[in-house]
Amino acid sequence: MGFIFFVALGANAQEIVEKEGIYYFDSKPYTGSYIGTYENGHTQFSLYLKNGKKDGEMRTYFENGELNEIRHYSKNEMDGTWITYNKNKVQVGLANYKNGKKDGEWKIWDDAGNLIYEMNYVDGQKSGNWKKYKPNGEILSERTF
Protein backbone atom coordinates (compact mmCIF):
# COMPACT_ATOMS: atom_id res chain seq x y z
CA MET A 1 0.00 0.00 0.00
CA GLY A 2 1.73 3.15 -1.15
CA PHE A 3 1.13 6.64 0.13
CA ILE A 4 2.46 10.10 -0.45
CA PHE A 5 2.97 12.80 2.17
CA PHE A 6 2.02 16.38 1.41
CA VAL A 7 1.29 19.55 3.25
CA ALA A 8 -0.46 22.45 1.61
CA LEU A 9 1.52 25.68 1.60
CA GLY A 10 -0.32 28.19 -0.48
CA ALA A 11 -0.92 26.69 -3.91
CA ASN A 12 2.12 24.38 -3.76
CA ALA A 13 2.44 20.97 -2.11
CA GLN A 14 5.76 20.22 -0.43
CA GLU A 15 7.13 16.98 0.94
CA ILE A 16 7.46 16.35 4.67
CA VAL A 17 10.15 13.87 5.71
CA GLU A 18 10.00 11.77 8.90
CA LYS A 19 13.31 10.76 10.52
CA GLU A 20 13.40 8.88 13.82
CA GLY A 21 9.94 10.10 14.84
CA ILE A 22 10.55 13.78 13.98
CA TYR A 23 8.93 15.37 10.92
CA TYR A 24 10.95 17.81 8.85
CA PHE A 25 10.14 20.32 6.15
CA ASP A 26 13.08 21.93 4.36
CA SER A 27 15.45 20.23 6.87
CA LYS A 28 13.76 21.95 9.85
CA PRO A 29 11.34 20.41 12.39
CA TYR A 30 7.88 21.21 11.03
CA THR A 31 5.07 22.98 12.88
CA GLY A 32 1.59 22.97 11.39
CA SER A 33 -1.10 20.75 9.95
CA TYR A 34 0.03 17.69 8.03
CA ILE A 35 -2.06 15.50 5.73
CA GLY A 36 -0.92 12.24 4.15
CA THR A 37 -2.75 10.81 1.16
CA TYR A 38 -3.14 7.43 -0.47
CA GLU A 39 -2.21 7.03 -4.13
CA ASN A 40 -5.96 7.18 -4.93
CA GLY A 41 -6.06 10.72 -3.52
CA HIS A 42 -8.01 9.91 -0.36
CA THR A 43 -6.67 11.17 2.94
CA GLN A 44 -4.63 8.56 4.81
CA PHE A 45 -4.14 10.67 7.96
CA SER A 46 -4.32 14.20 9.26
CA LEU A 47 -2.48 15.55 12.28
CA TYR A 48 -0.85 18.56 13.83
CA LEU A 49 2.89 18.76 14.37
CA LYS A 50 4.72 21.08 16.75
CA ASN A 51 8.49 21.33 16.40
CA GLY A 52 8.40 18.14 14.33
CA LYS A 53 6.46 16.13 16.92
CA LYS A 54 2.87 14.87 16.90
CA ASP A 55 0.86 17.16 19.15
CA GLY A 56 -2.93 17.07 19.39
CA GLU A 57 -5.50 15.08 17.47
CA MET A 58 -4.56 12.69 14.68
CA ARG A 59 -7.10 11.00 12.42
CA THR A 60 -6.36 7.95 10.30
CA TYR A 61 -8.52 6.76 7.44
CA PHE A 62 -9.13 3.61 5.44
CA GLU A 63 -8.12 3.75 1.78
CA ASN A 64 -11.78 4.33 0.85
CA GLY A 65 -11.70 7.59 2.83
CA GLU A 66 -13.73 6.40 5.84
CA LEU A 67 -12.51 7.25 9.34
CA ASN A 68 -10.48 4.46 10.99
CA GLU A 69 -9.05 5.97 14.16
CA ILE A 70 -8.92 9.14 16.25
CA ARG A 71 -5.72 9.43 18.28
CA HIS A 72 -4.26 12.05 20.60
CA TYR A 73 -0.63 12.96 21.19
CA SER A 74 1.35 15.34 23.35
CA LYS A 75 4.97 16.00 22.37
CA ASN A 76 5.05 12.77 20.28
CA GLU A 77 3.68 10.68 23.18
CA MET A 78 0.32 8.89 23.14
CA ASP A 79 -1.89 11.01 25.38
CA GLY A 80 -5.67 11.08 25.72
CA THR A 81 -8.46 9.00 24.24
CA TRP A 82 -8.05 6.86 21.12
CA ILE A 83 -11.13 5.56 19.29
CA THR A 84 -11.01 2.88 16.57
CA TYR A 85 -13.69 2.08 13.97
CA ASN A 86 -13.95 -0.82 11.56
CA LYS A 87 -14.68 -0.50 7.83
CA ASN A 88 -18.42 -0.67 8.62
CA LYS A 89 -18.16 2.49 10.79
CA VAL A 90 -18.69 0.46 13.99
CA GLN A 91 -16.62 1.48 17.02
CA VAL A 92 -14.37 -1.47 17.92
CA GLY A 93 -11.86 0.13 20.29
CA LEU A 94 -11.54 2.70 23.04
CA ALA A 95 -8.18 3.31 24.69
CA ASN A 96 -6.74 5.95 26.98
CA TYR A 97 -3.15 7.06 27.43
CA LYS A 98 -1.31 9.48 29.66
CA ASN A 99 2.29 10.52 28.99
CA GLY A 100 2.81 7.60 26.60
CA LYS A 101 1.45 4.94 28.95
CA LYS A 102 -1.87 3.11 29.04
CA ASP A 103 -3.98 4.92 31.62
CA GLY A 104 -7.73 4.71 32.18
CA GLU A 105 -10.60 2.83 30.62
CA TRP A 106 -10.13 0.48 27.66
CA LYS A 107 -12.90 -1.31 25.76
CA ILE A 108 -12.93 -3.66 22.78
CA TRP A 109 -16.00 -4.52 20.70
CA ASP A 110 -16.44 -7.09 17.95
CA ASP A 111 -17.19 -6.03 14.37
CA ALA A 112 -20.93 -6.07 15.13
CA GLY A 113 -20.51 -3.68 18.07
CA ASN A 114 -20.86 -6.22 20.90
CA LEU A 115 -18.65 -5.45 23.89
CA ILE A 116 -15.95 -8.13 24.31
CA TYR A 117 -13.55 -6.67 26.90
CA GLU A 118 -13.56 -3.97 29.59
CA MET A 119 -10.16 -3.17 31.07
CA ASN A 120 -8.45 -0.49 33.11
CA TYR A 121 -4.86 0.73 33.43
CA VAL A 122 -3.08 3.07 35.82
CA ASP A 123 0.31 4.41 34.76
CA GLY A 124 0.80 1.55 32.26
CA GLN A 125 -0.15 -1.20 34.71
CA LYS A 126 -3.25 -3.41 34.67
CA SER A 127 -5.67 -2.18 37.31
CA GLY A 128 -9.12 -2.81 38.71
CA ASN A 129 -11.73 -5.27 37.51
CA TRP A 130 -11.29 -6.65 33.98
CA LYS A 131 -14.26 -8.30 32.26
CA LYS A 132 -14.73 -10.48 29.21
CA TYR A 133 -18.23 -10.73 27.71
CA LYS A 134 -20.20 -13.22 25.63
CA PRO A 135 -21.82 -11.83 22.44
CA ASN A 136 -25.16 -11.63 24.31
CA GLY A 137 -23.62 -9.28 26.91
CA GLU A 138 -23.33 -11.85 29.68
CA ILE A 139 -20.05 -11.76 31.63
CA LEU A 140 -17.87 -14.69 30.60
CA SER A 141 -15.01 -14.04 33.01
CA GLU A 142 -13.67 -11.44 35.45
CA ARG A 143 -10.28 -10.77 36.92
CA THR A 144 -9.13 -8.17 39.44
CA PHE A 145 -5.69 -6.56 39.26
Same domain for 91 and 58: no
Residue 71 forms part of a structural domain: no
70 belongs to a structural domain: no
Residues 118 and 93 in one domain: yes
* Strand ranges inside 11-144, DSSP E: 12-14, 17-19, 22-25, 28-29, 32-38, 43-50, 53-61, 67-74, 77-78, 80-85, 91-98, 101-102, 104-109, 115-122, 125-126, 129-133, 139-144
Q: Is 133 part of any domain?
A: yes
pLDDT exceeds cutoff 60 at 91: yes
Same domain, 53 and 87: no
Q: What pTM does this model have? A: 0.85
Q: 5 lies in which domain range?
A: 1-62
The rounded distance, in Å, linking the Cα atoms of 98 and 104 is 8
The average confidence (pLDDT) of the chain is: 92
Domain count along the chain: 2
Going by pLDDT thresholds of 50, 70 and 90, the confidence category of residue 17 is very high
Residue 68 lies in a domain: no
